[in-house]
Amino acid sequence: MAQSRRRRPASRPASGGRRPAPPRPAEPGPVLELDVERIAHGGVAVAHHEGRVVFVADAIPGERVAAQVVDAGRERFWRAETVEVLRASPDRREHVWPEASVDRAPEHRVGGAEFGHIAMPRQRALKGEVLHDALARMGGVEVEVVVEPVDPAVAPGVDVEAGTRWRTRVRLHVAADGTVGPYAARSHTVVPVTSLPLAVAELEAIAPLGRTLEGAVAVDLIAPSDGDPQAVVRSPDDRRTARTAAPTVVERVGNRRFTVDRDGFWQVHRGAAATLTAAVQDLVDPDRFDPAAENHDLYGGVGLLAAAVGDRFGPSVRVTTVEADARATEHAGANLADWIGARAVTARVDRYLDELAAAPDDAGRGLRGATVVLDPPRSGAGRAVVDRLAALHPAQVVYVACDPVALARDVGLFRAHGYELEAVRAFDLFPNTHHVEAVARLAAIV
């Protein structure tokens, strides 16, 4: 999705895909032998020790591992790091990123590739299990979901079987002594590396690995689909003045060009934008679609998914994209210029929906009969937006989600308003991480 806001750790220009946990204890905790049971939301495995839940990093369900406790400060659960695999899963493989391997001390394992030790089919199966479990527990629906790999035809250069060479945006951090590298998992410790296997090849070629960059704080690597790769060195006082135009890049999706701020949001997988465009087009029910209705793309960014709807149903489609970031809205207006009925609005989605609800019935701004594409941040739409949106009675909602739990919670909220989950597809847009993208259709049941 082509939003300019920063929203997902695995999708922003960063190599460490997980939020840092509390600092590691000064003294190592005990080493436990654990039988790993399942994968939890967030990419860690679940085990039990003397009745207590233990969340274990770098393990696979079915394995027996020795794991060192790194956080025992909670009564209900502990956190631990695998230090030795005692009985390996048949799905364990050599880690695709040597610096993230279980063979290294946990404090020196890079983040952002927490599933890199798992064979690709099992990775996708585990992600499907997490999505299924979330929808059952929080959404109240039982649905089996097959997580689909990205079609190589829309992702040139990506190794689908290895899950590598897909990241078009990477952030490297710079330590106080100038060392360049990603963060260690669940920390702010910079780890020097010799390779970036998840990055597209052209970014690895320009990455300043092995160099010292004193005075810098980060390096952003960007490989737009239209244009040369860039390495942007960040300093502590790196601030753009209001009078300085933000640099932009151009991204291509099929025959379409999208302008986006270089520092703005764009999906990091080389084939993600094309994959999500096709998925949204597939899941919009044409029998419920009215091109003359007040169709919307909420959290619309630079207009990627509004364009998907326009391309699916023709240039006369009415569609409004709503995005809080003014720069993204400015780009959306230009990117959607092909459609006579397209407009781009800068507004917070909740406030925008409040304005729609307050409009007179004859103002022509209702959503009855409309199709709404909903692409919220990682935290999901939430109760306030779902309640407001459902009260406006759109015919169908196509929900694009990067977090299974947030999606499941919102599915439950929609169902309470009479909207049922009719279809869901999931895509492996973040191989070798725990993240998964889902696209769902909810429709009002009459």
- Provide the annotated binding site: 267, 299, 323, 375
pLDDT digit string, tens, across residues 103-142: 999 999 999 999 999 999 999 999 999 999 999 999 999 9
Compute the distance between CA of residue 424 and CA of residue 438 in angstroms, rounded to an integer: 7
**Whether the predicted model's global pTM rises above the 0.95 cut:** no
User: In this predicted structure, what is the pLDDT of residue 445?
Assistant: 85
Structural domains for the chain: 31-110 (2.40.50.140), 123-154+254-258+265-444 (3.40.50.150)
Compute the distance between CA of residue 243 and CA of residue 248 in angstroms, rounded to an integer: 15
pLDDT digit string, tens, across residues 71-114: 887 778 999 999 999 999 999 999 999 999 999 999 999 999 99
Q: What is the mean pLDDT of residues 239-245?
A: 58
- Which residues are known catalytic residues? 402
User: In this predicted structure, what is the pLDDT of residue 1?
Assistant: 39
Helix and strand numbers, DSSP H then E, in the chain: 8, 20
227: left (phi over 0), alpha (psi -120 to 50) or beta: left
- Provide the annotated binding site for S-adenosyl-L-methionine: 267, 299, 323, 375
**Alpha carbon 414 to chain centroid, angstroms:** 22
